[in-house]
Structure 1
Amino acid sequence: MHGVLLLMGSGETSPTMVEVHRAAIGALGRGPRAVLLDTPYAFQENAAEISARACRYFARSVGLDVEVNGVVAGADWVFCGPGSPTYALDRWAGGSSAGDLLARVRAREGVTVFASAAACTAGVATVPVYEIYKVGAEPYWREGLDLLGPVGLKAAVIPHYDNAEGGTHDTRFCYLGERRLARMERELPDGAGVLGIDEHTALVVDLVRERVRVAGRGGVTVRTLGGQSVLPSGATATLAELRELLRGQVRPAASPVVEAPVPPRTLGEIVRAGEESFAAELGADDVSAATRTVLRLEEDIAGWSADTEQDDGGPLQAREVLRRLIAALAAHTGRRVVAGIVPPLLAVREKFRCEGAYEVADAVRDALAEGGVRVEDTPEGPRWQVDY
């Protein structure tokens, strides 16, 4: 038997989660029946585009041919990701999908992947992200799908746990922030805690062996009114140990933490590193190295084109940075060319001035000005600068 419940904090269709996906499907055999549910984002005008990007990602990076909105019952692999948690819950309430999803976990069969917005629905209670963060509703919980119930985990799942997009305001804990989460956790059902999953991080629940593992870039936080524990990437535990953590009990002797391989960087980290390298290379007048950095960044952005969550601004913001670097490279290259031409022209102009041919000297100055080079005569000699 092979049964896995995979909960992701974000990055579900990005390079950071490729190996996590591959590991989860490793025991499914050849040609598994794979289903993608678009339920959380079906209301969006670009829903078909999001599904197409996700299907390309799973086909090219993971090796899965995915059917959109196929029948859940009997599927080997089911995926559900970004969008609105409450929209998904409302839609599932009127059909068989919710029961079929719960049946998969109870039977401990197949791979079920819930990420981002869908991960919010996987617990006993759900964060209404759109309603609270976007609309301004008073904090409250919605009843969740509770995929964790069949394995004895009583928790609310909060993805994007370490989100930092707010900058000047607290957007941790799936955009709730500490103030709202502290208020909401007191209203959880008795005995329930919080499972906070960092961005680009996964909680892998082996339903057959009754073990959990943390994979990816961050950690999983088990938070109760009595305190919190953090399971870092690479940590493993039994389901029994995780249940005790959620009850606020001291964890028994933990399984050793296996050092996890360093996952790929996020797109935001790649862009920031590229900007730093580019600035240093251009500052050293190494145009060849700066050009290679721009080309590598373009390749990295293409590799993230399937990302549906778009943390750190996503490919759109990354392309804006890329365009800015290209413009800076063009301007720098232009200045290098100009720097080789202007001094000889100024020497010719000075020769005309010494010979009294002021009209010709002025014509040289005016021609340089048309080309974007401003010349200023000073007692120490002519000074020039490029005006672009």
Structure 2
Amino acid sequence: MQDRPGVLVLMGSGETSPTMVEVHRSVVRRLGGRPRAVLLDTPYAFQENAADISSRARRYFARSVGLDVEVGTEIAGADWVFSGPGSPTFALDRWTATPVAAELRGRVRARDGATVLASAAACTAGVAAVPVYEIYKVGAEPHWREGLDLLGALGLQVAVIPHYDNAEGGTHDTRYCYLGERRLAFLERLLPPDAAVLGIDEHTAVVFDLRAESVQVAGRGGLTVRRPGSRTLLPAGTATGLAELRRLIRGGGEGPGASPVPAAPPAAGHVTLGELTRACEQRFGAALGAHDAAEATQAVLDLETEITRWAADTEEDEGGVDEAREILRHLVTGLGRLADTSEPRDRLAPLVEPLLRLRERLREQEAYDSADGLREALAAGGVSIEDGPDGPRWTVRG
């Protein structure tokens, strides 16, 4: 057992999205061989779609990371343990009532195995945890819950705040795991005097090498060490040591050595599905304005490709896959604007034929809802599809 590396990873979000694939792979490579991998489903076990979330996560780790994951709570001796979205307090209540809490603390204290906590599960890692559901969705007064204090074994007296740079609220402040500035500032005053907030941006991971006592920040955002009156940002690409992080947490940000040492620039191309969807929408709009049927069709096909890549994402920031599919259908309907009514079939063929091939791929993948949605979108644009033994046939309604 002691031959295994000791790694703790905290993720702000995006734990089953393309942005975190390389982080997961790098951790799994350290374990070597065929590690025993366990997914703790506790944070979302109360949800009606819990089985679907687990299934999507297992597919993600199998296809993108090459890791065969079992779902359960028997983590003793596991090489790799993962837990992600849901309710921090639901997880805390159940973990502290079972051996799971002690086993998680023991893994970190022994510097043994890989432990990956994201989103709601990451909230539980500090000395105090944010009851997100109770405050943001139910309206409870801001308060802390006692956390698992996994980081206490590393000398880090902190509360972990994932989704630190969340911007879903638009006109209202949803930063800091949906708390906003006013509520987080209030909660900071309730922390012990020597404690700080560790804020982890969305689609960002903080990787602790427990044996080497090193810390790396990866992904698209950064890690913020926040104390009353001071904030220190460690951007993606930062490599530093636990000793330096302890100093920042204790309020040593003004002294020498406060700036982290950049190990490498942040990886390029780390974007969310929402951003990719907006980019495809913009390309589509520009193509419509230029009457460029080929480019408009390509924008639709590129959006479908991204939806497929992100289909396993269990967190679904910015509306997620369902919202992207709605936009895809809207774009398909918009293709009808490029039709030439004098020669409709000839004009529409370069648009419809690729979309029919896309529909067939979706059916082969058993994504029947998406395939039906594509058919409905084409129908709204004036194209009727009839399925037959020789494949689909399409006509343009007069």
Q: Same fold (TM over 0.5)?
A: yes
Q: Pick from 4, 14, 17: which aligns with 2:17?
A: 14
After superposition, the Cα gap between the structure-2 partners of 1:255 and 1:167, relative to the gap in structure 1 and judged at 3 Å, is closer
1:139 counterpart = 2:145:
no
1:48 counterpart = 2:54:
no
Q: Could you tell me how far 1:339 is from its partner in structure 2?
A: 12
Aligned mates of 1:89, 1:307 — CA distance in 2? 23
Counterpart residue number, 1:376: none
Greater C-alpha radius of gyration: 1
Q: Secondary structure at the match of 1:215?
A: strand
Task: Letter of the 2:190 partner, please give it.
Answer: E
1:124 counterpart = 2:101:
no
Aligned mates of 1:100, 1:159 — CA distance in 2? 22
1:249 counterpart = 2:252:
yes
TM-score normalised by structure 2 residue count: 0.83
Task: Letter of the 1:291 partner, please give it.
Answer: T
After superposition, the Cα gap between the structure-2 partners of 1:274 and 1:52, relative to the gap in structure 1 and judged at 3 Å, is same
1:261 counterpart = 2:264:
no
Counterpart residue number, 1:302: 308
Counterpart residue number, 2:188: 185
Counterpart residue number, 2:350: none
Q: Pick from 11, 26, 31: which aligns with 1:28?
A: 31
- Per-residue CA shift, 1:192-228, capped at 9, x if unaligned? 1000000000111110100101000001100001301
After superposition, the Cα gap between the structure-2 partners of 1:297 and 1:340, relative to the gap in structure 1 and judged at 3 Å, is closer
Aligned mates of 1:50, 1:306 — CA distance in 2? 8
Q: Secondary structure at the match of 1:228?
A: strand
Aligned mates of 2:172, 2:270 — CA distance in 1? 28
Aligned mates of 1:65, 1:133 — CA distance in 2? 35
Q: Pick from 91, 94, 116: which aligns with 2:97?
A: 94
Task: Letter of the 2:120 partner, please give it.
Answer: A
Q: Pick from 137, 148, 167: which aligns with 1:164?
A: 167
TM alignment of 1:1-388, pairs within 5 A = 1-250=4-253, 252-253=256-257, 254-257=259-262, 258-333=264-339, 335=341, 337=343
Counterpart residue number, 1:384: none
Report how many residues are paired: 343
Aligned mates of 2:116, 2:345 — CA distance in 1? 58
Report if aligned partners of 1:216, 1:263 keep a CA contact under 8 Å in 2: no
Aligned mates of 1:263, 1:92 — CA distance in 2? 37
Unaligned runs of 5+ in 1: 342-371, 373-387
TM-score normalised by structure 1 residue count: 0.86
Report if aligned partners of 1:129, 1:175 keep a CA contact under 8 Å in 2: yes
CA RMSD of aligned residues (A): 1.8
Report if aligned partners of 1:241, 1:252 keep a CA contact under 8 Å in 2: no
Aligned mates of 1:29, 1:266 — CA distance in 2? 30
Q: Secondary structure at the match of 2:226?
A: strand
Q: Could you tell me how far 1:293 is from its partner in structure 2?
A: 1.2
Aligned mates of 1:220, 1:337 — CA distance in 2? 57
Task: Letter of the 1:286 partner, please give it.
Answer: D
After superposition, the Cα gap between the structure-2 partners of 1:194 and 1:172, relative to the gap in structure 1 and judged at 3 Å, is same
Q: Could you tell me how far 1:25 is from its partner in structure 2?
A: 1.3
Aligned mates of 1:127, 1:201 — CA distance in 2? 19
Task: Letter of the 2:22 partner, please give it.
Answer: E
After superposition, the Cα gap between the structure-2 partners of 1:338 and 1:25, relative to the gap in structure 1 and judged at 3 Å, is closer
